[in-house]
Structure 1
Amino acid sequence: MSADNQNRTQSDIDELTRQHFYQVLYGRRDVRSQFLSKPVGDEVLTNILHAAHHAPSVGLSQPWNFILIRDQEKRKQIHAAFEQANREAAEMFSGARREQYQGLKLQGILDAPLNICITCDRKRGGPVILGKTHQPEMDLYSTVCAVQNLWLAARAENVGVGWVSIIDRDTLAQRLELPEGVVPVAYLCVGYVSEFLEKPELELANWEKRKQLEQMVFSEKWGQPAQSD
């Protein structure tokens, strides 16, 4: 690394780095069906976990932990919990939508070589945390930032990640023997993949389409369209 590069501040992002960042961002996918059996090496896993651990957190409380799950029997237990929740979820849809739902693959718990549960310790830092005084849920949001950091870092390492949310949280907490005050935030399937799809899998399956940004941006108050400069 040149002396010039060593002296650059963290705010100085060159054009190539900027382009690569957006390539990673827009190339991220929620992986369900493309996992390979190839294990994620220790160095790559450490890089990904370091990225997650450098997420922003309320009051610098760092409320997250990362439970690495490789044991097949443990994953079978969690997969069974998914199957139960998935049957319950299917009943919430009707007609053709239920049939379409039942045809979707919504997890890779047994396919991916590694599962990671990211938890939030809601007691970490004591009863009063800077930034949580009026929004106590900020520790949960901080943990979600760690999830996103992990997801983007994994994509930069050409590792796929799938978030499985169709699991009863209490059942998951029991299976992982979480102590009181520690809650599961994200159950992730992690591994190398045969391909990263061009579009999200649910979009390719015609479950939903990405909405236009203009529909999501308001000005000054809810519902008032943003004005162009």
Structure 2
Amino acid sequence: MSDAHVDASEREALYRIMALRRDCRHFTPGPRLADAQLERLLQAAHQAPSVGLMQPWRFMRLSEPAWRERLIPFVEAERLATAKALGERAAEFLRIKVEGIRDCAELLAVVLAPDDGTVFGRRSMPREMAWASAACAVENLWLAARAENLGLGWVSMFDPEVIARELQLPAGATPFGLLCLGPVPAFYEQPMLEEVGWRQRRPLHEMLWASPALPAAGDEPG
């Protein structure tokens, strides 16, 4: 491809967008996104890599007020169940805003499609590689949204079986996110959970594990 080379300014822009991306929960109420803008964002998601080119992601637009009101009780039920599971941190957790379903410009469901039988690259980890591939699409969407100065928040507090039933998904399909998307009053300086003191990001060096010593000659399995 004649235009495949990425220059320094493009590279720096990408790294900057990655650093500025946030999981947003506070949105500016307003109109839905223009269809052309939403299509750009979904096209970015659709350009994500997938194992065996299986493309297991599916998106549903649920931005009508009736859909929002229908789904919120299921999110609230899981929020309360999460608080109960957190024990002594329950009250602290309940003070944290966990979604912007009512206020965001667009509400999307992201769904893992029924297994299409792809074997290439996932014979030994069929489910895991489907999930990983679909998550790549969400990350693409997240970065594209930030590049358009829009916020995105991934809501995972719901019972997937209940939401699958509400959305009338086909057998074998699994919802794994309600994505709040739209303009925000401001982007958080840090991840919101750091700002509210819930948890601190760990440094990169803690994520790097040393490789084990190779077995000595003659110790290899026969």
Calculate the TM-score normalised by the size of structure 1: 0.88
Q: Tell whether the 8 Å contact from 2:153 to 2:179 is kept in structure 1 after alignment.
A: yes
Q: Which runs of 5+ in 1 are unaligned?
A: 1-5, 223-229
Would you say how many aligned residue pairs link Structure 1 and Structure 2? Answer: 212
The answer on 1:58 being equivalent to 2:70 is no
Query: Within 5 Å, which residues of 2 pair with 1:95-174?
Result: 95=88, 97-124=89-116, 127-137=117-127, 138-174=129-165
Deviation at 1:94, TM superposition (A): 2.3
1:55-107, Cα deviation, whole Å (9 max, x unpaired) = 01111111111101112111111100011111111101223x21110100000
SS at match of 2:126: coil
Query: Within 5 Å, which residues of 2 pair with 1:1-229?
Result: 7-8=2-3, 10=4, 12-95=5-88, 97-124=89-116, 127-137=117-127, 138-221=129-212
SS at match of 2:107: strand
SS at match of 2:85: coil
Deviation at 1:157, TM superposition (A): 0.8
Deviation at 1:206, TM superposition (A): 0.3
SS at match of 1:172: helix
What is the distance in 1 between the residues matched to 2:21 and 2:29? 17
Q: Tell whether the 8 Å contact from 1:39 to 1:192 is kept in structure 2 after alignment.
A: no
Identity, % of aligned pairs? Answer: 34
Q: Tell whether the 8 Å contact from 2:113 to 2:173 is kept in structure 1 after alignment.
A: yes
What is the distance in 2 between the residues matched to 1:32 and 1:132? 34
Q: Tell whether the 8 Å contact from 1:140 to 1:185 is kept in structure 2 after alignment.
A: no
Calculate the TM-score normalised by the size of structure 2: 0.91
1:103-157, Cα deviation, whole Å (9 max, x unpaired) = 0000011111211111111322xx3421121111211110010010111011111
SS at match of 1:195: coil
What is the distance in 1 between the residues matched to 2:206 and 2:212? 14
1:33-68, Cα deviation, whole Å (9 max, x unpaired) = 233324211111111100100101111111111101
SS at match of 1:66: strand
What is the distance in 2 between the residues matched to 1:57 and 1:122? 15
Q: Which runs of 5+ in 2 are unaligned?
A: 214-222
SS at match of 2:125: coil
Runs of 4+ in 1 over 6 A off after TM superposition: none
What is the distance in 2 between the residues matched to 1:20 and 1:218? 29
What is the distance in 2 between the residues matched to 1:172 and 1:179? 12
